[in-house]
Amino acid sequence: MATAFKVPFAPRGSLLGPDEAAAVAGIVCSPQSLSAGVWRQRFEARFRDYVGTAHALSVTSGTVALEIAVSLLDLTEGDEVIVAPQTYQAMVQPLLDHPARVRFCDIDPRSLNIDPVILERMLSVNTKAVILVHYGGCPADMSRIMSAARGVGALVIEDCAHALGAELGGRRPGALADIGCFSFHSSKNITTLGEGGMLTFDRDDWAERVDRRRSNEVDATFVARVPGVKAPLALQWMRDAEHIYQSACSTVRRAGTNATLSEAAAAVGLVQMDKLQGFVERRRSIAAALDEVVARQPGFTTVRAEPDARHAYHLYTFLAGCREERDLLLCLLDGRGVEIQLRYFPQHLRPEWALRGHRPGECPVAESSWFDRHMNLPCHPGLSDAQVEYLVFAVEASIREVVVSRARPSHAV
Ligand SMILES: *Cc1c(COP(=O)(O)O)cnc(C)c1O
């Protein structure tokens, strides 16, 4: 049996309530289609308005959103894609299916986002795209990143899995670059019944390609009707059949798939959008209380967002001074019943990327962050006031013990 933590990292199910249950019940009891209908359209329209892009297309997960986004890049041999290493594996994994060379760009130790100074040095005419995450919901330095990327004609994909509810200079992640990818997994800022995702962008040609791919049509270039080919008479009244007989492909880029978000999931997403602001405010207030006790002690560094940014605090992260202190803190918090989940292992060191020649030393900041300094604390909106109060107490007491241990000849872990 799993240990019951006094403060779980993410209390389960707490984001959903009677409003979501009613939305699902309404659909279960209605004669309407359970797939690809009016609820999906409503959810997408709402999302598009919120993010501020011309298009928002829902899919079954954030992973599928990223897979489709990467396929829109039409990568070929000789192309390079620059990615951030401190992220969930689903952000970089789609690149394993493409011929492009992948380069990992180190992170800025203050924000834990891709470091724009290093990125500027890595960009070249071969860079087809940059894929970054707004780590933990802290918006990356997009004005600098976008002008650098534009300078070499590279596209930028934002992994917004953590960043729904964040803002930068009055604009929203998902509309700050070329393509935004969102996740509505149960662990994220809102959920569409456990799984779901969304792509956001402005380009109409991409909307057509994404819509085809998610609904079992091939992503292809079509040319004018094939002369002389006629639909059999019996089928001529069927518009679909006529279209098939009249079209020809010049290239097939990729097979289609079925990535349709169910109507029930979309309806729940719509209800969750109403609650988003409240969820994020709760996350921000927990983070503010934690910041106060963490920043009070020397040797512990809180994450700094850009001055015009609103951090969504999908993750609350801070850095300890060294491995001994981080590990001691982990043990002390665990002993006090606070569940810690560290996110994320540097992607370039995973076996699949090591196989492609990536090595330790490639991203020293991300590596030292993960192995020596990185800490995540619970900051989930479903935590009760009593749990938050206890969390703040436990963090303060544990940090104080770590500070006291500095006076001893050697750290005891
Ligand atoms: C969760 C997550 C994803 C994947 O989303 P799913 O909906 O779980 O497939 C991608 N990138 C990041 C940074 C994530 O946290």
Q: pLDDT tens digits, residue range 89-141?
A: 999 999 999 999 999 999 999 999 999 999 999 999 999 999 999 999 999 99
Please work out whether the CB of residue 182 comes within 6 Å of at least one atom of ligand 1.
no
pLDDT of 3 strictly over 90? no
Tokens of 215: 């609904």
Alpha helix segments (H runs only) across 189-258: 204-214, 239-246
pLDDT of 13 strictly over 60? no
Q: What integer pLDDT is reported at residue 1 of this predicted model?
A: 44
pLDDT of 248 strictly over 90? no
Q: What integer pLDDT is reported at residue 234 of this predicted model?
A: 64
411 CA → ligand 1 middle, Å: 37
Yes or no: say if 62 and 184 are a contact pair by the CB < 8 Å rule: yes
Among the listed residues 182, 178, 171, the one whose alpha carbon sits nearest the alpha carbon of residue 150: 178
> If DSSP codes are grouped into helix, strand and coil, which group holds residue 198?
strand
Among the listed residues 92, 77, 158, 152, the one whose alpha carbon sits nearest the alpha carbon of residue 122: 152
Residues 302 and 293: their CA atoms lie apart, in Å, by 10
Top-confidence residue, 167 or 408: 167
Please work out whether the CB of residue 7 comes within 6 Å of at least one atom of ligand 1.
no
Yes or no: say if 60 and 259 are a contact pair by the CB < 8 Å rule: yes
62 CA → ligand 1 middle, Å: 5
Ligand 1 pocket: which of 63, 114, 179 to mutate (most atoms within 8 A of CB) = 63
Q: What integer pLDDT is reported at residue 223 of this predicted model?
A: 83
Top-confidence residue, 249 or 354: 354
Please work out whether the CB of residue 192 comes within 6 Å of at least one atom of ligand 1.
no
Residues 30 and 142: their CA atoms lie apart, in Å, by 44
262 CA → ligand 1 middle, Å: 19
Q: What integer pLDDT is reported at residue 38 of this predicted model?
A: 95
Q: What integer pLDDT is reported at residue 195 of this predicted model?
A: 97
pLDDT tens by residue, 264-299:
999 999 999 999 999 999 999 999 999 999 999 899
The CA–CA distances, whole Å, from 304 to 63, 137, 319, 373 equal 28, 12, 11, 16
Task: Please state whether the predicted TM-score (pTM) of the whole model is above 0.85.
Answer: yes
Q: How many CB atoms lie within 10 A of CB 230?
A: 12
Q: What integer pLDDT is reported at residue 240 of this predicted model?
A: 64
pLDDT tens by residue, 168-193:
999 999 999 999 999 999 999 999 99
pLDDT averaged over every residue in the chain: 94
**pLDDT above 70 as % of the chain:** 93
Q: What integer pLDDT is reported at residue 109 of this predicted model?
A: 95
Q: Burial letters for 151-182: b for 16+ Cβ neighbours within 10 Å, e otherwise?
A: eeebbbbbbbbbbbbbbbeeebbbbbbbbbbb
Q: What integer pLDDT is reported at residue 36 of this predicted model?
A: 87
63 CA → ligand 1 middle, Å: 6
